[in-house]
Structure 1
Amino acid sequence: MKKAIILLVSCLFIFSACSEPEETVESDDTKQVEEDEAETEETEWWKTDVASYTLHDLPRDLEELEQELIVEAGLYSGDNYDVTAAKELLDQLPEDLAEEELETAILQLIREDYHAEVETFVTFDPTVDISVDRPDEELEEPSEDMATSTSHFAILLDASGSMNNTSDGTTRMELAKEAIGNFIDILPENSTVSLRVYGHEGTGSDDDKKLSCSSTESLYNGEMNEKEFMKALQAVQPAGWTPIANALEESEKDIPENSSTAIVYVVSDGIETCDGDPVKVAEQLNQKGVQPIINIIGFQVDDEAQELLKQVAEAGKGEFTYAGNKQDLEDYWKEEYDRLQEAWEAWQQEGMKRANELSQQLMKQADETGYAIMEKSDLEFRRAEELINYLTTNRNMENADNLWSLFYERSTTIWSYGYNNQTENWGAAYENGNAAWRYFYETGTEKWTEYYNKMN
């Protein structure tokens, strides 16, 4: 009995020991099969999916061809081309591989990278948008808004009693009115003008000081109607004190909301006599709205008044001009005219230069992008030819016989895409550049001529 138990245990031990190698052999076989399958899959490189480049913020969906052109570049594309290594990979292809798979395999080796060029053409904007500050208004490339954007000229005329003083038999007021009349005749056609008087009520007596110092009135405001403007101007008569600060403060109301720029001309024969602070008011006014520039014309003023009026002009970011007589006033307005004439010419030249530069830049970009696509398509086709020839001649693969036609059609299609986009975008940039150039040329010439004819 004891021997029987020992024998049974021994058999169980032997059975157990004998069964373990069988399980190990089965596990190793399975593992080997899996490794062989994995190795086989790794060698079938032509079946690997190829990713595409990601393009962001495109203005439209990509066309079918463009989607093909953003597929990532082949292993031996561009400067990485290695014909020997490529042929070694082709040797791994089964002899009966289908034509479509052969085409895919070759592309995975030599497909060129077109994604940057595609992105350039899809996002290409041939607009020649030039912004140059006009002498009398801010503008962007000609637009509908331009019709509602104007320059405003605000004339503030001193109607204090001292304007009744005479010079060469003519009162200062009469000389000022004549000079102002000549000035409005040369204002830009798209501008507006206002006429405000101050100190025109009461008298120069102390009793009337309060009345006179509070007197300022807008007599004309709007588009230029010379007859109506001169009618309002001629009605002004010298009367009382000189409230320059009050007039400047009220002149803010004269500037239309749609004005793009404004220039305030203060015509005065003396300093503030109403206890106001015209320097402070001028500085404040210059910081409001369109930040009007304040020019002061001192009419037959003494040295002390000149110095004080200069401070007002400086506070308003403008200039002070001394006018001793009628000729001085006329010369001043002509200088203003010459300044505008020169400014328009400078504006014209700068606009034409920028339009030409931007247009040339866009045309160059269209050219370079188109040529890059065409050159890459040619390069890709030449390399495809070389590999196709290897498959047909060295490996005698019948399914490769029609590959030449497929790659020729692909090359032609891609080449045409580059050429057509190059031509279209180059032409659009050229036309838009010409249009912008003509706008600056014609507008500048028109304004320059307008001022020249008015002055002469």
Structure 2
Amino acid sequence: MRIAIALALIPTIAQPDCTTDAMLVFDGSTSMVDSSLGIQGLPKIAEAQRAMARALPEIEDVRRVGLMIYGPQQVGDACEGISLQFLPIEKSAKPILDATRSFAPGGLTPLTAAVARAAEVMNYRTDPGVIVLLTDGSETCGGRPCALGAQLADQAYDLTVHVIGFQLNPHDALFQWNNPEQEFGDDNVARCLADATGGMYVTTETIDELTAALRSTLGCPLLGRLGTGSQTPG
């Protein structure tokens, strides 16, 4: 047992400082109301909220987190629904949960523009930061995540982008619609953002898996490996 615990702690040495400010970029697009892939029969957004309710109270003790929501548009273009809820704050669990419960999913998936905006508000050229993109689909607004990933890697002071896919369906036609960098059968093209910046790309299907992924990307590495029996996604 002592050996196993020691080995589990070794990878935390090389991990970035878990006190670096982070931004959660949350998918609020129309597809988040789908319940066909959820094993509990709940809409995806409800399952995502349950996972956040488990993970965020632990995470808020070790990191300040902000929130950007993309998808729901106020008026006009279905690709313009990107809203900064708040910059990284202490004790962010309740504000994040309240914000993600206060809207009805809608619109398309401008995930590239949402990550770009999150990077800008976090002053990525001069300040360290972490962005966690949560998405249930791929880009559908013509954005180019691979090009953005290369730009962030070239210009950022110290920015890591993690990508969490939740109940992805790559065979859905929307997975490739207005998504110029996507090739059929590939991983979600948003993986480029993680690969270019040294982040994690994790696919999740269940509330438990999503909870573990949030702990691993937003919390201290120790939370993802030893917290409440969860395992760090590979």
Asked if Structure 1 and Structure 2 have the same fold, meaning a TM-score greater than 0.5 normalized by the shorter chain, the answer is: yes
Q: CA offsets per residue over residues 317-357 of structure 1, 9 Å max, x none?
A: 212111112122123234447862289xxxxxxxxxxxxxx
AA at the equivalent of 2:205: G
How many matched pairs?
199
Give me the whole-angstrom Cα distance separating, in 1, the residues matched to 2:198 and 2:105: 28
* Alignment match, 2:85: 219
Flag structure 1 segments of 5+ consecutive residues without an equivalent. Answer: 1-131, 138-149, 344-447
* Alignment match, 1:247: 114
Q: CA offsets per residue over residues 377-409 of structure 1, 9 Å max, x none?
A: xxxxxxxxxxxxxxxxxxxxxxxxxxxxxxxxx
Choose from 5, 24, 47 the match for 1:155: 24
Choose from 147, 152, 174 the match for 1:285: 152
Displacement of 1:183: 2.7
RMSD after superposition: 3.3
Higher relative contact order (CA closer than 8 Å, sequence separation 6+): 2
Alignment of 1:179-218 (within 5 A): 179-187=51-59, 189=61, 191-201=63-73, 211-218=77-84
Alignment check: 8 A CA contact 2:62 2:219 kept: no
Structure whose residues are more often helix by fraction = 1
Q: CA offsets per residue over residues 348-370 of structure 1, 9 Å max, x none?
A: xxxxxxxxxxxxxxxxxxxxxxx
Displacement of 1:133: 7.7
* Alignment match, 2:187: 306
Alignment check: 8 A CA contact 1:270 1:305 kept: no
Give me the whole-angstrom Cα distance separating, in 1, the residues matched to 2:142 and 2:162: 21
Give me the whole-angstrom Cα distance separating, in 2, the residues matched to 1:261 and 1:307: 26
What's the % identity of the aligned pairs? 20
Flag structure 2 segments of 5+ consecutive residues without an equivalent. Answer: 1-12, 171-184
SS in 2 for 1:170: coil
TM-score (structure 2 length as normaliser): 0.71
* Alignment match, 1:173: 45
Displacement of 1:314: 1.3
Alignment of 1:2-401 (within 5 A): 135-136=16-17, 150-166=19-35, 167=38, 168-187=40-59, 189=61, 191-201=63-73, 211-225=77-91, 226-255=93-122, 261-303=128-170, 304=185, 306-336=187-217, 340-341=221-222
TM-score (structure 1 length as normaliser): 0.39
Structure whose residues are more often strand by fraction = 2
Displacement of 1:280: 1.1
Give me the whole-angstrom Cα distance separating, in 1, the residues matched to 2:52 and 2:84: 16
Give me the whole-angstrom Cα distance separating, in 1, the residues matched to 2:70 and 2:128: 23
Alignment check: 8 A CA contact 1:306 1:322 kept: no
Q: 1:176 to 1:310 in 2, by over 3 A?
A: same
Displacement of 1:254: 3.3
Displacement of 1:305: 6.3
Give me the whole-angstrom Cα distance separating, in 2, the residues matched to 1:189 and 1:334: 12
Q: 1:183 to 1:292 in 2, by over 3 A?
A: farther
**Structure of larger gyration radius:** 1
Alignment check: 8 A CA contact 2:29 2:106 kept: yes
Give me the whole-angstrom Cα distance separating, in 2, the residues matched to 1:248 and 1:321: 17
